[in-house]
């Protein structure tokens, strides 16, 4: 089967079953578009859609140095984009949702 010939819903179905090639193809297709999507989602005036909320939560989970940057700063957009691509490709586990004032803590 050639993943490049499949539609995104077909790839999604395969990826949910654990197909790593399907995940890689989804990442390849999304990569050029994600920076623009992330930039828009991080703007204060963007609508609170499910995707925008997920992107904002991803940004909130980044280490505290990211919190000092402007929301649409190129560095934060790049970091959120990279994190989302890692999640799509299955390279990193999903993090627990952020609730209220809780933040991720790094312990050594």
Closest CA to 59 of 34, 77, 43, 37: 77
* pLDDT per residue as tens digits for the range 50-97: 989 989 988 888 775 444 555 567 788 998 998 888 887 776 655 555
Query: What tokens were used for 63?
Result: 């280490």
CA dihedral sign, ordered 55, 61, 62, 66: positive
- Domain limits at 31? 3-89
CA dist 60 to 13, 56, 64, 100, 108, Å? 29, 6, 8, 11, 21
CA dist 43 to 22, 51, 59, Å? 31, 13, 12
Domain-embedded: residue 107: no
Q: How many domains does the chain have?
A: 1
Domain-embedded: residue 11: yes
Query: What tokens were used for 71?
Result: 């929301």
Domain-embedded: residue 106: no
Domain-embedded: residue 42: yes
What is this structure's pTM?
0.66
Domain-embedded: residue 55: yes
């Amino acid at each position: 089967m050639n993943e490049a010939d499949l539609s995104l819903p077909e790839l999604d179905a395969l990826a949910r079953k654990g197909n790593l090639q399907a995940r890689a193809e989804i990442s390849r297709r999304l990569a050029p578009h994600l920076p623009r999507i992330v930039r828009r989602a991080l703007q204060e005036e963007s609508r609170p859609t499910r995707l925008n909320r997920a992107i904002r939560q991803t940004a909130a989970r980044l280490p505290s140095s990211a919190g000092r940057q402007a929301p649409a700063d190129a560095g934060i957009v790049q970091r959120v984009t990279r994190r989302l691509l890692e999640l799509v490709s299955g390279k990193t586990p999903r993090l627990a949702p952020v609730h209220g004032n809780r933040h991720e803590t790094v312990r050594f």
